[in-house]
Amino acid sequence: MSETKELLKAMLLEKSIRTGEFTLASGKTSDLYVDCRVTAMDPFGANLIGELGYEVVQQEIASRGVDIDAIGGMTMGADPISLAIGMTSARISPQEALDVFTVRKEPKGHGRGKRIEGNFETGDQIILVDDVITTGGSALKAADAIEAEGGKIAFCIVLVDREEGGREAIEARGIPVVSLFTRTSLFA
């Protein structure tokens, strides 16, 4: 495991992972609570996510032979992760910097009434982002919005896969999932 990945794993375990009994957004109960925002919104955590995330993104782009225009997902979980990876892409590969966008849970009730904000255009090749997947519901809602606006999703990158069926649900939709960590790898 790379030093960056080890440092990020340690930070996730310290700041973002809790054990006990919790009710999740899906309504299910679990013995594991994962709040990636605490790590992703920490300046050191964001740098680690940017470094590791962009390394994985570069590998996926090369292995899939795709050109990517933008990265983003459902607000709020995907926002700091997308921005960290986008900023790292701009620093390391300025000519191939990834634009960053966010998907609103509901269209804006004023102005242009947009559901997708930021740097997104119809026809863009997209990397879908989620912080944690359990059932995959949040990522799939974001995918619906992206595809409705003409985006083409190349793959999904996830910070933590809880290994509770979300990966399978997203992949059943034809969107490959790449996770930086799984429940198993976090506790290995």
Q: Give 110's pLDDT tier (boundaries 50, 70, 90).
A: low
Specify burial of residue 59 (Cβ count, 10 A radius: 0-12, 13-18, 19+). exposed
Over residues 73-100, the pLDDT tens digits come to 999 999 999 999 999 999 999 999 999 9
Worst-scoring range by mean pLDDT, 2-11, 21-30, 54-63? 21-30
Over residues 37-74, the pLDDT tens digits come to 999 999 999 999 999 999 999 999 999 999 999 999 99
Specify the pLDDT at position 129.
98
Kindly state the helix (H) or strand (E) to which residue 166 belongs, with its residue range.
Answer: helix 166-172
Which residues face 128 on adjacent strands?
72, 156
pTM over 0.85: yes
Give the CA distances from residue 33 to residues 11, 77, 85, 94, 99, in Å, rounded to whole numbers and listed in that order. Answer: 15, 14, 24, 37, 31
Identify whether the C-beta of residue 98 lies closer than 8 Å to the C-beta of residue 84.
Answer: no
Over residues 97-109, the pLDDT tens digits come to 999 999 999 876 6
Determine how many CB atoms are found less than 10 A away from the CB of residue 96: 12
- Alpha helix segments (H runs only) across 12-93: 36-40, 43-64, 78-92
Q: Give 188's pLDDT tier (boundaries 50, 70, 90).
A: confident
CATH topology of domain 3-186: Rossmann fold (3.40.50)
Instruction: Name the DSSP letter for residue 127.
Output: E
Specify the pLDDT at position 109.
67
Share of the chain above pLDDT 90, in %: 87
- Among residues 78, 36, 68, which one has the least CA distance to residue 153? 68
Domain regions of the chain by residue span: 3-186
Rg (CA), the chain: 16
Please report where in the chains the tokens 């495991």 appear, as a residue: 1
Specify the pLDDT at position 26.
73
Share of the chain above pLDDT 70, in %: 96
What are the residues whose beta carbons fall under 8 Å from the beta carbon of 163, sequence distance 6 or more? Answer: 182, 183, 184
The mean of the pLDDT values for the chain is 94
**Over 90: is that where the pLDDT of 1 sits?**
no
